[in-house]
Structure 1
Amino acid sequence: MVSFEEIEEVFKKLEGKLSREDFKSKVEEKVTMMNGLCDSKTAAMLVASEMGLNETIKIKDMSPDSGNVVFAGKVLSISDIREFSRNDGSAGHVVNITFADDTGSIRAALWDEAADLVKIGDIKVGQSLRVKGYIKEGMRGLEVNVGRGGSIEHLDQEVAVNVKPLKINEIKPGMNNLDVKGKVIDIGAMKTFQRKDGGTGKVTSITLGDETGKIRVTLWDSKAENIGFKAGDTVEIMNGYSRENTFSNQTELQVGSAGSIVKSNSAVNYSENITPIADIGINSAYSIAGHVSGIDEIREFERQDGTKSRVSNIYVSDDTGRIRVALWGEHAELVNELDIGSEIRVIDAYAKSGRNEEVELSAGTRTRIQIVRK
């Protein structure tokens, strides 16, 4: 005889699909049919599976030999939908989603009809879902494939995740699967470019800050094209990666097709780190505040590629010293708005050795200049 206490835990998951007596009877029948090759709890799980109940698994417990799995996860990021041609000439499409629970995270590939759920907006970042799919070893580790034999359903109860956002000063080059929250300080203009395969790509950059510092974030393609936030908003980046900019020697964040960036209601504090002019070195970016103590005329010049641009110089002073600031491109026109004594802030200008080996600042495309008082 099967003790109901041994199978009660499995019975509770059936949510009233049959009575206790009927379930116990089916389990006893399964034990008899298996000729003692399984215990009562295993038999109960087999009965439950035959009735459509799939036992959920935690992400950390998944392995290459798990086969078909069912898990509950929260959507951290959604990639762009990619279309492709099969060998038989038919068209297919796939989208990658990063899911997390309280034990870890995993990437899931949704194919064809499952990918359509993203296309029609039925799956969004932040939702909690129950996913049935097949585990396999992918190029980046374990991944779940959700095709015709799989399924996705929404959960009423939110799945708890154990993902702790990094502070900006904790980000080092070469890190992956990054979760970062910050305040948007600045948003750059979107640019288009030609890919090696002849296609067109889109890119823009934003500057993100928190109480530990700031970082430049590059957004690619649909992330660059569909920005749903403005300067001053708080955003959360999920599944980003970092690299070192060889020009500025600074760590930057990248948000590609597998990552996401969404507006957040979290409060993030940020204040600009202003460096006294006397403390500026070379080969690094600095932000200064002071008054204009000298203005030169705008000069036009020709680049190596034959295009023309403009440059002007101003001098900025504070209580510790005076420095020349070269204003390149569109920044050069600022001399028409400034007077001697105007108060300004020059944010993220690159320091280098200039005339007579004196330190000077170069204000380029990444520099922001704020006129505090004319």
Structure 2
Amino acid sequence: MDEVTEIYDKLGDIISQEEFRKKVDEKVDQMSGLCDMRTAAMLVAHDLGVNETETSVQKIADITPESGNVRLIAKVMSVFPAKEFNRNDGTIGRVANLIVADDTGSIRLTLWDDKADLVKTGDIEIGQNFQISGYVKEGYSGIEVNIGNNGILCESEEKIEACVDCTKIEDVKNGMGDLNLKGKVLDISEVRTFNRKDGSTGRVSNITIGDDTGKIRVTLWDEKTELATGMNTGESVEIINAYARENNFTQQVEVQVGSRTVLKAIDEDVNYSENFTPISDIIPGEPYSVKGSVSGLGELREFSRDDGTVNMVSNIYVSDDTGRIRVALWGDHALLVDELDIDTEIEIIDAFSKSGFNDEIELSAGNRTRIVVL
């Protein structure tokens, strides 16, 4: 008895075997090769309302390490490259990972061998909805669903509202992967080009996002930089499958958005409020945001860099009710000195503190600094 007949025998007399096989063939064609005959037969049986062939559909939030075999319908949120490994018997195995989500949460899928090949061939893409059947186990990064050659991974036409578990910005640490965040866009930089060691040209851009626990700089690479050009400050975004890395220059942790990262605008209003430091509490070697009134204005001057390019700098003084500090404005920020007046209220966000003339602490406002004239 073949596997299609075996599944058909569980249907009773609700449909003829000829009609059942016809529907199975149609299902295989419909899934563009992502289903084998057995899986297609199971899905047709499910469409006919016969569920004895599979466990009932579960929500991701209800899956536990003791769940055993599970069946779920979820949306692909992240796709990781397939890898090969050597088994003890000398054969070569294949493995790949996905992050999928439904309206209750997200979970990792581990695909083995033939199922992993679907990632390698590009048949699985972010945003697809799948019917999934596999077994649960505790993996290196938490609960995961494993899908071998006898498991089910077939595209579904059912609409899925995906909900992913998000990390708060204050909890982001260097080296973290599979990182999901929600934040309000605070600042957007221009797209810059650079030359790689292999002679190719790359593109990079940055945005800064914040939530109710803090803010963080996000770096977008290559084709992802196009997303920044369509953003507006003040809107909320969701980042799925990013990773965190320490910037070698600033020693601050940043979020990296690569080719396998999803970055999209969301309707949710993410709360953020800037943390302003009293001027008297500033110490050298840290980034700070200050708020106060302009209490001194210097002159704009130009100078030549070592590479022959010309830059600009000016100085202002800012005071609050705790003290007064000099702020060096670099590049385009330097032009502000001609627009400001004494007692103008101003916010200087993400300026770097250092010891200046006579060891007095001052702030340096460069290309990572945002200045708001109130």
- TM-score, normalised relative to structure 1: 0.68
Q: What is the percentage of aligned positions where both structures have the same residue?
A: 47
- C-alpha separation between the residues in 2 aligned to 1:51 and 1:248? 54
Among 114, 117, 120, the residue aligned to 2:123? 114
- C-alpha separation between the residues in 2 aligned to 1:175 and 1:154? 31
- TM-score, normalised relative to structure 2: 0.68
User: What secondary structure sits across from 1:19 in the alignment?
Assistant: coil
Q: Note the 1:217-296 alignment, pairs <5 A.
A: 217-227=218-228, 228-296=230-298
- C-alpha separation between the residues in 2 aligned to 1:164 and 1:75? 14
1:152 CA displacement: 4.7
Correspondence 1:317 to 2:306 = no
- C-alpha separation between the residues in 1 aligned to 2:344 and 2:129? 53
The answer (yes or no) to whether the contact 1:283–1:352 under 8 Å persists in 2 is yes
Per-residue deviation, residues 87-133 of structure 1 (Å, max 9, x unmatched): xxxxxxxx996434667213775455736xx6xxxx63xx5323699
Correspondence 1:191 to 2:192 = yes
1:78 CA displacement: 6.2
RMSD: 4.0
1:160 CA displacement: 6.6
Q: Note the 1:54-69 alignment, pairs <5 A.
A: none
Among 24, 41, 55, the residue aligned to 1:52? 41
The answer (yes or no) to whether the contact 2:130–2:153 under 8 Å persists in 1 is no
Query: Mean Cα displacement is larger for which, 166-175 or 220-229?
Result: 220-229
- C-alpha separation between the residues in 2 aligned to 1:296 and 1:172? 40
1:329 CA displacement: 0.7
- C-alpha separation between the residues in 2 aligned to 1:310 and 1:210? 34
Distance 1:96 1:105, change over 3 A: closer
Q: Which residue of 1 aligns with 2:174?
A: 173
- C-alpha separation between the residues in 1 aligned to 2:261 and 2:77? 8
1:194 CA displacement: 1.6
Distance 1:364 1:145, change over 3 A: farther
- C-alpha separation between the residues in 1 aligned to 2:275 and 2:153? 50
Per-residue deviation, residues 30-57 of structure 1 (Å, max 9, x unmatched): xxxxxxxxxxxxxxxxxx9387226689
1:324 CA displacement: 0.5
The answer (yes or no) to whether the contact 1:128–1:159 under 8 Å persists in 2 is no
Q: Note the 1:1-374 alignment, pairs <5 A.
A: 18-19=12-13, 49=38, 52-53=41-42, 72-77=73-78, 98-100=99-101, 104-106=107-109, 110=119, 114=123, 124=127, 128-130=129-131, 152-158=154-160, 163-227=164-228, 228-372=230-374
Query: Mean Cα displacement is larger for which, 356-365 or 291-300?
Result: 291-300
The answer (yes or no) to whether the contact 2:109–2:147 under 8 Å persists in 1 is no
- C-alpha separation between the residues in 2 aligned to 1:70 and 1:197? 46
Q: Which residue of 2 aligns with 1:32?
A: none
The one-letter code sitting in structure 2 at the alignment partner of 1:208 is I
The answer (yes or no) to whether the contact 1:183–1:233 under 8 Å persists in 2 is yes
Any stretches of 5+ residues in structure 1 without a counterpart?
A: 1-10, 24-47, 81-94, 134-139
The one-letter code sitting in structure 2 at the alignment partner of 1:52 is A
- C-alpha separation between the residues in 1 aligned to 2:40 and 2:15? 16
1:233 CA displacement: 0.8
The answer (yes or no) to whether the contact 1:242–1:253 under 8 Å persists in 2 is yes
Any stretches of 5+ residues in structure 2 without a counterpart?
A: 18-36, 44-53, 82-95, 111-115, 135-140
Distance 1:106 1:255, change over 3 A: farther
Distance 1:73 1:297, change over 3 A: same
Per-residue deviation, residues 11-46 of structure 1 (Å, max 9, x unmatched): 9x97996527999xxxxxxxxxxxxxxxxxxxxxxx
Q: How many equivalent residue pairs?
A: 299
